[in-house]
Structure formats: structure tokens, C-alpha cells
Amino acid sequence: MKRIGLLNLAAQNLKRKPFRSIVTVAIVAIAAGTLFSATLLISSVQQSLKVGMKRLGADILVIPEGAEESSESALITGVPTSFYMDESVLDEVRSVPGVDQASPQLFIESLISAACCTGHVQLVGYDPDTDFAVSPWLEENTQGPLGDSDVVVGSLILANKGETVKFYGQDFNVVGVMDATGMGADESVFMQLDTAYRMAEESQQDALSALDVQRGQISSVLVRVNPEVTIDQVAQRISTNVPGTVAVTANEISRSVTDRLSGFLRGFIVLDVIVWVMSLLTIAAIFSMIVNERQREIGLLRAMGSNRNYIFKLMLTEAVLLTAAGGLAGILIGGATLFIFKAVITASLGVPYLWPPLWYFAVLVLGTLLLSVLTGALASLYPAFSSSRLEPYAAIRQGE
């Protein structure tokens, strides 16, 4: 025979007024869902920036003046872009004091919906002799350096390892699919710089629209800074010493994303604080009402031999059950909303997105649940305490 435990009795009590219970759950769900989804969004953006910047591997990105916005879009959200400068920039950058390594990249937009091409993506040519961004990944994940007709693709490119993709009328073998970063790299295709130049040359015959890229042109220079100097110092020197270019630090890119997000999140946080305070007050009011309504029953339980602690725990358990249910519902709804509308949210905010690791997800779920439950416990503390202090006889009489 099952014991009539506190949990069981509390759950039965909550079924008495289903509408009131549902409203309480809904209020907590809104608070918990808002908190959960906002925190998950921030964490996912931060996670994406962390992984994406690590993949970029550079402290500074040197690009032509005026290309700041499109390069950031390409890097963060993978919007294909192309801009060029002379490769002589590379030597000028190398000569700047504090530059440890510098490697050129070439950006090419593939054609939109052309029969010759796999899709509208960013093609990135890198120099295998100086590269420190793509090569380390290749060393770990493929047989060796890329061949003349080989490419590696980002995680969102619809091609598997071993398949062939076509750009500007030429076929390329996919020799690897990179791990997701949540950033533009996921929608990019990487090939050797020489392969990219050759593709441009042969596009005159093979492609629907010829590429206007010449050998000797590059799009950016990735820079690693000597550990003895600060990144900002070196960026400043490059901007001064290499005319016609802009040196953007990885931190600046991250900060620009964070800044963009913070405006949106500030409103979100204010809203969430208001919702939490409202839910705290509402639960407190609801439980004061419950105690009032059930005075006779509380007196009766005391007459039957339950002690004050039992009554206190019963009320607290009811509050905890309601808020735990609300927290859980909020997490599910908030998580699902973010999952479904991820693309819309990230596109409208212009931020990268990468789901955080599972352990972080678990901590976030538990944290939100704990906060929900604590809210319930805190809100019901006074009603629960006062109900436990009711004199049984007075409670029975007042409830009549």
C-alpha cells in the first residue's frame, strides 16, 4: 500500500483549482522561458564566437578600406562577399613590427543558382605555405594538404566527403567537412590559393559568368601577433603603415557582435526581471489565498495530528510543484522557440550561433529549474509559515 506522501497530497490539492494552477504555471513558464532562451542565445553566440575565432586562428584581419562591413558579414554570418587588394600588402604587413605570421586569403562569391555551381557560397583560397587557419585542421582531419582539385567544406555546405561540387564550371572533390562553428566558415568552401586563381582563369571558358580575379590579388591577410606586443598596438601600426587597408582585431569582431546583441538583450533582461518579480508577487498572493481558503482543512489536519512542520512543508511542496512545472514548461517552450526560430533570430540580429556543449545545456536547464523552484519557495514562504502557525481551533472556526 502506497503511503500518502506530502508530494502526493500536494499534487492532489493542486488539481482542485486547475485554472488557478495553470495560470501560476504559465506565469512561471513565461519567466523561466524568457530567462532560459535569452541565456541560451547569449551562450550560443559566445560559443560560436569562441569556436569561430579559434578556427580563424588570427589575431588581426587586414582587409581593404571600405570592406569592413561586408567582411564582418562574411565572417560572422557567412554572407558571400568579394573584395580585392594587391598582394604587395602582404609584404607590407609582414614588415610591420610585432607581426609574427601573415597569410593571404582570397574571397570569391560563387554564382547564384547557376547550372555551373553548387550554390551561392563563399569560396576561400588560402596559401598552404603560410596558412595557419585551415592547415592545422587539415593536418588533423585529412590525409594531407589539399590537391589541385580538392576542397574542404563548412558544416552547412550540402556536400559530403567523397562527393563532387561544382564552381565556375569546374568539379572539385570534397575531401573533408569541417566541424560547425556557427559562423561564416560553416558556409564556406576552402581551396588552395593557386586552385582559386586557376578556377578564375578557366572560368573564362567554363563558367556562365567569368570571374574577374587576377593572380596577384588577395582579399585579406590573416595576422598572428608576436606575444611580446599587444594586438591593438600591432593593428594600429598596420593601419598606419599599410595605406588603403584596415586592420580589424578578432576582439573587435567579437565585441561588435556582443554590442549588437546587448541592445536586444538589455530589453530582454528588463522584461525578464519584471516577469520574475510579477510571478513572485502573484505566487505569494495565490498562496495567501490558498491558505485562507483552506483554513478549515489546515485546522482539520492539525486536529488529526499533523504538526506545524507538516503543514509548512505541504504548502511549500505545492508551491515547489507548481513552479517546477512552470520552470519545466518554460524551458521546453523557450528552447523549442529558439530551436525553431534560430535562423530568423540570428539573421535579424546578425549574430553567429552554435549550440553550447551538452554539459552547459544541462547546467542551464538545472539552473533555470532551480531558480523557478526557489521563486516558488520564496513566494510561498510567508503563507506557508503563517498557515503552520494557525491555531487549529481558530482555523477550523474561521473556515466555517
Partner 1 sequence: MADSIISLKEISKTYKAGPNTVRAVNKVSLEIDRGQMVSIVGHSGSGKTTLLSLIGGLTKPTSGTVKLNDTDIWTLPDKEQSLLRNRLIGFTFQFASLIPTLNVFDNIRLPSTFDGTALVSPERVQELMDKVGLGDRGHSYPSELSGGEQRRVALARTMINEPQLILADEPTGDLDEDTEAEILAIFRQINEGGVTILIVTHSKAVASQASQTLKMHKGHLTENLENS
β partners of residue 177: 153
**What is the nearest approach in angstroms of partner 1 to the Cβ of residue 355?**
42
Say how far apart CA 314 and CA 293 lie, in whole Å: 15
Q: How far is the CB of 391 from partner 1 (least distance, A)?
A: 6
What stretches of 16-146 show up as alpha helix (H) in DSSP? Answer: 18-56, 68-77, 88-94, 135-141
Measured at the alpha carbon of residue 25, what is the angle toward residues 299 and 270, in degrees to the nearest 5?
A: 120
Interface with partner 1, residue 304, by CB under 8 A: yes
Under rule CB under 8 A, residue 340 binds partner 1 = no
400 binding partner 1? (CB under 8 A): yes
Of 296, 337, 360, 398, which one interacts with partner 1 (CB under 8 A)?
A: 296
Q: How far apart are CA 383 and CA 283, in angstroms?
A: 10
Torsions phi, psi for 263 (to 5 deg): -60, -45
In angstroms, how far is CA 229 from the centroid of its own chain? 31
310 forms part of the interface with partner 1 (CB under 8 A): yes
d(CA 71, CA 105): 12
47 half-sphere exposure, CB direction, 13 A CA radius: 18
Interface with partner 1 (CB under 8 A), residue total 28
* 19 is a site residue for partner 1 (CB under 8 A): no
Task: With contacts defined by CB under 8 A, name the span among 47-55, 116-124, 293-301, 332-340 that binds partner 1.
Answer: 293-301
389-395-397 Cα angle (round to 5): 155
Among 306, 337, 386, 398, the residue binding partner 1 under the rule CB under 8 A is 306
The rounded distance, in Å, linking the Cα atoms of 156 and 19 is 45
Binding mask 95-134 for partner 1 (x = CB under 8 A): ----------------------------------------
Q: Does 12 participate in binding partner 1 (rule CB under 8 A)?
A: yes
Site string for partner 1, 145-184 (x = CB under 8 A): ----------------------------------------
Q: Which of 88, 143, 164, 307 is close enough to bind partner 1 by CB under 8 A?
A: 307
Instruction: Give CA–CA dist 303/388, Å, rounded.
Output: 13
For position 384 contacting partner 1 by CB under 8 A, the verdict is: no
Which residues in this chain contact partner 1 in the complex, by CB under 8 A? 1, 3-5, 9, 12-13, 15-16, 296-297, 299-300, 302-310, 391-394, 396, 400
